[in-house]
Structure 1
Amino acid sequence: MNKFKSLIRYTSKYKFRYLIGITFLLLIDLIQLIPPKLIGYLTDLLSKGNATKAHLIKYISLIVLISFSMAIGRYIWRIYIFGSARLVEFDMRNKLFQHLQKLSQNFYNQHKTGDLMALATNDLNAVRMTLGQGIIMITDAIVLTITTLSIMLSINVKLTLISLIPLPFVALVATKFGKIIHNKFLKVQESFSKLTDIVQENFSGIRIIKSFVQEEKEYIKFTKENQHNYETNMELVKIWGMFFPLVEFIASLSFVFLTGVGGTYVIYGYISLGDFIAFNMYIGTLVWPMMAFGWVINIIQRGLASLERIENILHQKPDVFDNDVKDLKYLNGDISIKNLTFKYPDTESPALENINLTVKEGQTLGIIGKTGSGKSTLVNLLLRLYNVNDNTIFIGGIDINRIPLKILRESIGFVPQDSFLFSTTITENINLPLEQLDMAEIIESTKAADIYDNILNFKDGFDTIVGERGVTLSGGQKQRISIARTLIKNPKILIFDDCLSAVDAKTEVNILSNLKNIMKEKTSIIISHRISAVKDADLIVVLDDGKIVEMGLHSQLIEMNGIYKSIFDKQQIEEKIQSEEV
């Protein structure tokens, strides 16, 4: 019942459109029952020799007029019923997309992208079919069946009952085949999904495939899955191919009964020849509603099941949301972290433990640590991608939980290690944070990120299409474009999460030198594996297993002769070896 309430809720906005569409559908269902009667009357006139030219013109004109009216009416109900179903689908897709954007990071950690894509395509399509084709089938099945049977019974009760014997089997076959076809169709979708995944993965990783000379292996893998996709589709085609001839065969039995019994009735004068012909046409009219009875159950079941899956997602609440926030328009860059301990959902050990830090606006914080030490976790918490306890993180002297998410994230510029670029131009990628295109700002930010000269060397310059996830660019170029995109935002806080890992040491020096003047007015956090990236920071912390194990200036940490000094010595040796090789 709740599912039907949900359907009503989504369609209520378009109830008048549906009302118009169903009204015209009912009219057409009734009007299409008139031509068999007219043809029956005309046949009787012709058989008795009473037909005149005027009769022919009259009945032919009426039939043409009715056919034209049916064509117009069918166009109208299709526009209003199918159109309304499309509008509901449009609204639901917008609502789903908007809701998915609001959900927290943890939701995406637990749900596959492919499953969410299936909701926005296959499941929404199933709901649309219920609200479009399903409504038409229900209406036709009920109205056409009742009205057609009423007319046939008025002609001859016994003949009607005899002629209808095979038709319930049409509904039974449609129901049984409908379930089989539905299951086969799901397998086809699943097979196509796997095939699409393989293709997408190959195109995304084409450079890896070529570098490891795996083209033939991947082709064999694709061919195998493509063969499975072909076989799955052929199974569906065979069922479809069997279904319609079987329905036609069962329906033809009604015509066989009608021809035998009805023909006898005509000979003995129980019914007229015109009634016999009309009877034949009404039997043909009944085949569709009998099929509709079987189909509509499967369509509605599938639509309601899909609606339930969509509703489950729509009922998901974001873990991170504004609650009792302050009315802020501006946020300064002071950062204070007090006794912060954090565990990811469904994990036992803390990712960060007893973190205490203070960074003033205009200062730079350097963070060093091995992989898995908690560096990126700290950044995720500053961006509030996950919830933290009250009174643990303060920005601008305000508890992070009291800061509106929009203001918080607008105030932070974040450059991740995995630089994601959209498959559009370099200009549009860099200009992403701005409402209006500002080429002067774009050029300035690319110069600061030391990518300007590289862009000018491209054939299309700033209009270069970077491809999916920036596939046409090198790792270092993607990182520098990401830096430019963050700088153009002009935030109060800059966070660089190991975003210089793909550039050489010389380029790194150039970028850090360019950023010095910009970083003077901002709070900056540089996370890196390289000592050279953080050695000039106002404060450097060393993280290990989620804890701060060392803290101080570069010179102080060297004197401690601990983890930081060990990393520094190792990197000095590596740099010396590299310089000797050159």
Structure 2
Amino acid sequence: MNSSVLLRFFKSRKLSYIIGFAFMFAASFIQTLFPKVLGSAVDLMKDNGFEPGQVLTQVFWMVLIAAVVFLCTFLWRNIIIANGRNLECYIREELYRHFLKLSPGFFSSRKTGDLIAYAINDISAVRMTFGPATAMSFNGIVICISSVYFMFASVSPSLTLLTLSPLPFIILLMLFSGRKVQTRFRIVQNQFGAVSDRVQENISGIRVIKAYVQERSEMEKFSELSSRMKQANLDLIKVSAALPAMIEFGFAVCFVMNLMFGGRMVLRGEISIGDFVAFNGYLSLIVSPIVSIGRIVTIFQRGLASLGRLNDILRVQPEIMDLPHALPIQPEGSMELRQLTFCYEGSDVPALRDISLVLPKGHTLGIIGKTGSGKSTLASLLFRFFGVEPGHILLDGRDINDYALDPLREGLGVVPQDTFVFAASVKDNIVLFKDGYTDADVQHAAALSQIAGSIEAFPEGYDTLLGERGVNLSGGQKQRLAIARALIRKPAILILDDALSAVDAVTEGQILNSLRQTRKGKSNILISHRVSGIMEADEIIVLDKGRIAERGTHELLLKKGGMYYDIYTEQLEEGEVC
């Protein structure tokens, strides 16, 4: 775990931790007084002439000790364990905040199931380490040190050394098995991520699986992953389950040695029966913390494995960040590209090559080209989802890197190819959970995107809950909902990235006409594979293999008889152009 994240949390909770550990120390230390008082009571009762009052005094002290231990234990558990939960919540929020800062390229190279495992299983393991495991460790250390001290000082140093002689072997065993637990738990977490990813992927694509009759194939793949996860857990259990059993066996040896040597010392008169009882009491107190060491070691090793996994994520630096001098302003609408060339990481072929163009404020730019020609890449660069060298993209005459990310993106509106619908109401999907929009604003945006009629036909209108990823909407409805989401923000530059591909020609024409009517004075970039979606643009560029192959108005490009003309003719024959 990033040390600064943990330090910030511990500093903010410093006082509560001090108070919690103070109560824990008090409970642990006072608990070790009980065997001594019990031993004194036994010595008093073995005498024929003992006074009941003296025994009752010892009983009073034992009851008082138990009451104080109960109170202190109740207080420290409420403080320390609660802080463990607070730490879990804090780390999860920090991890989520870190996710939101990372660029889309990071998520395209990671599996969703793995990221879910980080946010749930790994953080839970960290919470167990810095919550219950830390508390058990501190509690056990205080009890063991205090008990051993009283065993030495109040009973017999020689008996203490003989009885506790197996402890070094137990400690070595714990250290050896701890490393194996850490390694095997990391494998378990990786397998959990793989299973989670498979479940998430199959649920999202359940219609495709059923349509192509892939249930049996997917079940076989899932069974294989599930078996691997089971085996990884069994390998972990073999190590973690053996440790407590071996520790308990070691302590059984300790009690046998105490019975042999302690009993002989009582018979010889070297220690009293009360001392022998007290010694057994101290030994019993030590048993619980030492036996718990097996569990503590397992928890710590699991926590360390999870910390390592979380570190791997938190060390990933965002590729796109605000510059120190970034301007907190929104673009007003003009754009210029100067010899823009861009290549995706890991690819030797540029997605865009030497692109130069000017989009004056209030104008509309149309972009058309075959699949893979670089159309969507341009939209991603305008939103700075990927880094671009200074001087190649200018907005209002300023380099795009000089804008702070949030206001830059707030000034742009995009409807991507892959429309995403949240499992929320229609209204929430349009306003995107932001306050400040009235019902009239929502209805106006829906009307402009030609989806108002569909929404009003829903059972609860704008309050109708949509399924995950908009499963209860058609492709065209999803696109129109996404267009309403972009229009309600009234962006300076609106980008439709093939956002009308799933609507019919009539609806497409109505939406484009609405845009022309309502977005006068604002800039638009229409990316499409259909000529009908861009033919009214002020300028059209035709992209081919990342280069501008042709540019001009619709009429001019038709006269050239080049690539645009070929696309137009083909679509005209197919009835896609009216």
Q: Secondary structure at the match of 2:338?
A: strand
CA contact (8 A) 2:327 2:402 kept: no
Q: Which residue of 2 aligns with 1:510?
A: 510
Matched, 1:441 2:441: yes
Deviating beyond 6 angstroms after TM superposition, the runs of 4 or more aligned structure 1 residues are: 2-6
Structure 2 contact 45–55 (Cα < 8 Å) conserved:
no
Match of 2:94 in 1: 95
> Contact (CA 8 Å) 1:167, 1:287: kept in 2 or not?
no
Return the offset for 1:62.
Answer: 2.2
Aligned equivalents of 2:45, 2:11: Cα separation in 1: 52
**1:461 correspondence with 2:461:** yes
After superposition, residues 340-419 of structure 1 pair within 5 angstroms as: 340-419=340-419
CA contact (8 A) 1:173 1:294 kept: no
Map of 1:556 onto structure 2: 556
Q: Name the structure 2 match of 1:39.
A: 38
Tell me the residue number matched to 2:174: 174
Structure 2 vs 1, CA of residues 108 and 5 (structure 1 numbering), >3 Å: closer, same or farther? closer
Q: Report the alpha carbon displacement of residue 352 of structure 1 after superposing the two structures with TM.
A: 1.3
Rounded Cα–Cα distance in structure 1 between residues aligned with 2:566 and 2:5: 62
Pick which of 288-297 and 522-531 moved more. Answer: 288-297
- Alpha-carbon offset, residue 299 of structure 1: 4.8
Aligned partner of residue 348 in structure 1, secondary structure: coil
> Do 1:364 and 1:519's aligned partners in 2 also have CA atoms closer than 8 Å?
no
Q: Gaps (5+ residues) in structure 1?
A: none
1:40-439 to structure 2, matched below 5 A, reads: 40-154=39-153, 155-237=155-237, 239-291=239-291, 299-300=299-300, 303-304=303-304, 306-307=306-307, 309-311=309-311, 313-323=313-323, 325=325, 327=327, 329-432=329-432, 434-439=434-439
Q: Tell me, in whole angstroms, the C-alpha distance in 2 between the residues paired with 1:233 and 1:111.
A: 23
CA distance in 2, matches of 1:324, 1:247: 57
Q: Which amino acid aligns with 1:571?
A: Q
CA RMSD of aligned residues (A): 2.8
Q: Which moved more, 1:358-367 or 1:318-327?
A: 318-327
Contact 1:330 1:407 in 2 (8 A): yes
Cα–Cα, structure 1 residues 185 and 134, in superposed 2: closer, same or farther, change >3 Å? Answer: same
Given that 1:376 and 1:497 are in contact with CA atoms closer than 8 Å, whether structure 2 keeps it comes out as yes
1:417 offset after TM fit, Å? 0.7
Note closer, same or farther for the CA distance 1:419–1:348 as it changes in structure 2 (3 Å cut): same
Trace 1:536-575 onto structure 2 (pairs within 5 A): 536-575=536-575
SS at match of 1:371: coil
Instruction: Using the TM superposition, give the Cα deviation of residue 376 of structure 1 relative to its aligned residue in structure 2, in angstroms.
Output: 0.8
Q: Distance in 1 between matches of 2:174 and 2:107?
A: 40
Inter-partner Cα distance in structure 1 for 2:82 and 2:328: 44
Question: How far apart in 2 are the matches of 1:459 and 1:389?
Answer: 50
Q: For 1:542, what is the secondary structure of its paired residue?
A: strand
Instruction: Describe the shift of the 1:106–1:126 C-alpha distance in structure 2 as closer, same or farther (beyond 3 A).
Output: same
SS of match in other structure, 1:152:
helix
Contact 1:333 1:396 in 2 (8 A): yes
| Superposition deviation, residue 156 in structure 1 | 1.3
- Helix, strand or coil at the partner of 1:575: coil
Letter matched to residue 389 of structure 1: E
Q: Distance in 1 between matches of 2:305 and 2:246?
A: 29
Q: Contact 1:171/1:291 (CA < 8 Å) preserved in 2?
A: no
SS at 1:340's partner residue? strand
CA–CA separation in structure 2 for the residues paired with 1:8 and 1:556: 65
Farther off after superposition, 2-11 or 260-269? 2-11
Distance (whole Å) between structure 1 residues aligned to residue 49 and residue 454 of structure 2: 93
Deviations 1:13-38 (A, max 9, x none): 22222211221221112111111111
Does the 8 Å contact 1:178/1:295 carry over to 2?
no
Contact 1:171 1:294 in 2 (8 A): no
In the alignment, the residues of structure 2 paired with residue 310 and residue 209 of structure 1 have an alpha-carbon distance, to the nearest angstrom, of: 33
Give the equivalent residue in structure 2 for 1:493. 493
| Displacement after TM superposition at 1:300 (Å) | 4.8
CA distance in 2, matches of 1:45, 1:500: 94
Maintained 8 Å contact 1:433/1:489: no
C-alpha spacing 1:126/1:219, structure 2 compared with 1 (3 Å): closer
- Counterpart of 1:477, as a letter, is Q
Q: Return the offset for 1:433.
A: 6.8
SS in 1 for 2:368: strand
Cα distance in 1 for residues equivalent to 2:95 and 2:188: 25
Whole-angstrom distance in 1 between the partners of 2:543 and 2:130 = 56
**Deviation per CA, 1:468-505, whole angstroms, max 9, x where unpaired?**
22222221111111001001111111100001112222
Secondary structure at 2:13 match in 1: helix
Letter in 1 for 2:90: D
Q: CA deviation at 1:70?
A: 1.1
Q: Which residue of 2 aligns with 1:14?
A: 13
Q: CA deviation at 1:537?
A: 0.9
Deviations 1:16-75 (A, max 9, x none): 222112212211121111111111111112222344443443333322221121121112
The alignment partner of 2:575 has SS state of helix
Could you say if the C-alpha distance between residues 335 and 500 of structure 1 is closer, same or farther in structure 2, counting changes exceeding 3 Å?
Answer: same
- The secondary structure found in structure 2 opposite 1:336 is strand
| Structure 1 residue 318, shift from structure 2 partner | 2.8
Identical pairs, percent: 40
Say if 1:403 and 1:239 are closer, same or farther in 2 by CA, change over 3 A.
Answer: closer
Assess, with a 3 A threshold, how the Cα gap between structure 1 residues 195 and 404 changes in structure 2: closer, same or farther: closer
Letter in 2 for 1:536: E
Q: 1:254 to 1:45 in 2, by over 3 A?
A: same
Tell me, yes or no, if the aligned pair for 1:415 and 1:496 is still in contact at 8 Å.
Answer: yes
**1:437, 1:57 → 2: CA distance?**
75
8 Å CA contact 2:375–2:543 kept in 1: the answer is yes
Greater CA drift, 419-428 or 154-163: 154-163
Q: Please, which runs of 5 or more residues in structure 2 have no aligned partner? A: none
The Cα shift of 1:231 comes to: 4.8
In 2 relative to 1, CA 432–218 (structure 1 residues): closer, same or farther, beyond 3 Å?
A: same
Cα shift readout 1:268-321 (whole Å, capped 9, x = no counterpart): 222111111111111122223434666656655554554455455445433323
Equivalent position amino acid for 1:200 in 2: Q
- Could you tell me which residue of structure 2 aligns to residue 472 of structure 1? 472
TM-score (structure 1 length as normaliser)? 0.91
**Which residue of the partner structure matches residue 22 of structure 2?**
23
Aligned equivalents of 2:4 and 2:177: distance in 1?
Answer: 29
CA contact (8 A) 1:175 1:294 kept: no
Note closer, same or farther for the CA distance 1:78–1:265 as it changes in structure 2 (3 Å cut): same
Q: From the superposition, tell whether residues 3 and 442 of structure 1 become closer, same or farther in structure 2 (CA, over 3 Å).
A: closer
Comparing 230-239 with 523-532, which one deviates more in the overlay?
230-239
Check conservation: 2:341, 2:354, Cα contact below 8 A: yes
Residues 431/312 of structure 1: CA separation in 2 closer, same or farther (3 Å cut)? same
8 Å contact kept, 2:427–2:463: yes
Deviation at 1:239, TM superposition (A): 5.0
Give the corresponding residue for 2:526: 526
Contact 1:381 1:388 in 2 (8 A): yes
Decide whether aligned partners of structure 1 residues 462 and 15 sit closer, same or farther in structure 2, where only a CA change above 3 A counts. Answer: same
Letter in 2 for 1:208: V
- Deviation (angstroms), 1:552: 0.8
C-alpha distance in 2 between matches for 1:219 and 1:156: 65
Measure how far apart 1:175 and its partner are. 3.4
Q: Residues of 1 paired with 2:282 and 2:345: CA distance?
A: 65
Contact 2:423 2:465 in 1 (8 A): yes
